[in-house]
Structure formats: structure tokens, C-alpha cells
Amino acid sequence: MSSENVPSAEVEEKSETRKLLESMSPEKRRRLVKGANATLMVSLTITLLWLFAYNLIVHHMNPLLAFFKILDGINDLVIGMLTVVIIGVGVIVIFTLTNLFTQTITNLYSMRIMEDLIRDYAMKGRWREFIHHLVHFSELPKPETPFPRHVSSAIMVFTYHYLVSWFYLVVFTECLYFAAWSAGVYLDLYPSTMQIVPMFAIAVPFTARLMAYMDYPYADDYASFIPGILFVVVLLLAFVGMMGGNFQFFMQDIVGREEVGFFKQGALFWKFLKDGCLIAFYPVFGEVIFFYLQYQDLKQADDAIEDALDAAAEAAEEAVDGGEAAAGAEATDAPGE
């Protein structure tokens, strides 16, 4: 995790493609570039011919009009591809975040590792390496202790856990609400029962942390299951939303729901926020208990070592005193000259 022996920013970092080309002979390199250019030309030709045939067959255009409408087809392809790319990027972001969060949940040394990453990379502006290590969080070496080096780092990482808890609280609440809606179950929400849904929502990721506390052998398997669930449900939510389905998101529902004589509009939303402030702190409080137990274990081990050292020192002193007493007795018993 140390930042030593890292190349300076002035040294140009060569791409994999450049390294590959530099390892080839000039003739082989020219042949490779020529082949790549031919592949590009064939790809463009196939695209244009496909658009021309598409206009002829699907839109029933005459050949001349189909030819001039190829540009419109390219525009439709670009817009459609951008839509798919946006959906794909959203899936990647959600999956990456949840995968990162679950990796930090099941790693009891995550706070110390996060501190090292932030201090060694993020605070030095080395964002590329910081993100790379975050993505490969489970592959990072385990530090000697789970305790952070600085108090400010502890506060920062506790804040991270709290924000992650809020993320899971909101997202899994939406997932549970969507699951109930998909099953045809209508949830009667009242201020007195508003904490039930977020309580179940936070229990899903916190169970993975609880497994890690207990050194449960299948903690990683359970944690790796969470991003998959979240990915499927979020994808279905986006699909239903884009299709204009008869569905309201949980947040949208609690903001607009009103029961005359029971609660006003917006009361459920504020109750959710107030309950969420406490519920999202449960994982943070779990960390506090974990550090307390770790401290007690560390203190007992340290006290045992100190007791052993004191006992050894006392034994050594007694041995020295005994040796001196024996030497004195021998000198007293010896005959005078």
C-alpha cells in the first residue's frame, strides 16, 4: 500500500497497444495496421449496406430514396446506441458501487484499508490508482490492525459507512416496495409503521457485516449475491419507469400519499427521513461495538505480555539476589587467611 517506488508523473506511461507495436518488427507492424484498416472499411461498408437494405425492406422505399435516407438511419443508430450506452453505464455504476460496498462490508479491515487508500492515493491526487484499488478492494493485502492511524481518518471512514448505509436504505427500500408491487401486494403505509420497510432494507447488507463479525465461512458468497439482486431489481425498475407502467416509486408514493383524518401529505416522507437517520446509523454502531471488542482483545493480549515481562523481570531479579546471597554466604563461611 506504500507509495514508494512509484514512477513520477513526468515519465510517459505507454499504452498496451504501443507496447505491442514496439515488440513487433516494422514489416509485421505495417501488416497489422493494414489489416486493421481493411477491417474498418469492411465494417463501414456493411453498416451502410445494411441501412440501405433496411430502408428498402422495412420502410418500403425505392432504391434512390433508400440511398439518401441512409444518413437518417445513421442518426437513428447513434441515438439508439446512446440510449443503450446510458442504460449500460447506469448498470455498471450501480453494480460497481454495490460490489465495492459489499467488499468493504465483508472485510473487517476495510476502515484501515480505506484510510491507507485515501491518504496514499486520493489525497495525493492519484485518482486513477485510487479507483483501481477500490475496484480490486478484495485483492488488497490485509494490514496489521483494523484500527485507523489517525482520528480524522476514523471520522472520515465512519462517515463513509453512514453514507453507504443511506444508499442501501433508499435503494433496498425501493427494491422491497417494487417486489411487493410485483406480487400484487398493496402496502398500507402509516407513520406508525414507516420504519418497518427501511428496517428490512438495512438488514440485507448489514447481515453480510454480521457474518464477517462472526467469521462466517459463506459471508463473501452472501455479499456477492447482493449486487446481483440489486442489479436485476434496478433494471426492472428502470424498465417499468420507461414503459410508463402503473407503478409509483416508494419515495414518490410517500411524498404524495395522504390519508384524511390520519396524516397529511408529506408526513410519511418526513417520518421516513427521521427513522432513516437512526436506522442508517445501525451499521456504524455495529462498527463501534466491533472496535470495542477488538480493543478489549488487544488490551488483554497487551496486558498478558506486560505481565509475562514483569514476571520474567522479577524472576531475573530474584535469581540475581539469590546469587548474590549465595556468594555472600560462601564468603562468610570461607576460612580466614
> Is 110 inside a domain boundary?
yes
Q: Give yes or no for a contact between 94 and 231, defined as CB atoms under 8 angstroms apart.
A: yes
Q: How many domains does the chain have?
A: 1
pLDDT band at 3 (very low <50, low <70, confident <90, very high): very low
> Is 199 inside a domain boundary?
yes
Per-residue model confidence (pLDDT) at position 330: 62
- Domain containing 142 equals 87-290
Per-residue model confidence (pLDDT) at position 41: 92
> Is 184 inside a domain boundary?
yes
Beta bridge partners of 263: 259
pLDDT tens, position by position, 243-270: 776 677 788 888 887 777 777 887 888 8
Per-residue model confidence (pLDDT) at position 237: 72
Residue the block writes with cell 448498470: 91
Long-range contacts formed by 89-95: CB under 8 A, 24+ apart: 90/238, 91/231, 91/234, 91/235, 94/230, 94/231, 94/234, 95/227, 95/230, 95/231
What is the chain's alpha carbon radius of gyration, rounded to the nearest angstrom? 33
- In angstroms, the CA 212 to CA 325 distance is 57
> Is 180 inside a domain boundary?
yes
> In the numeric block, which cell numbers belong to residue 169?
436504505
> Is 301 inside a domain boundary?
no
- At position 37, the amino acid (one-letter code) is N
Neighbours of 229 (CB within 10 A): 14
pLDDT tens, position by position, 131-144: 888 878 878 888 88
> Is 136 inside a domain boundary?
yes
> Is 25 inside a domain boundary?
no
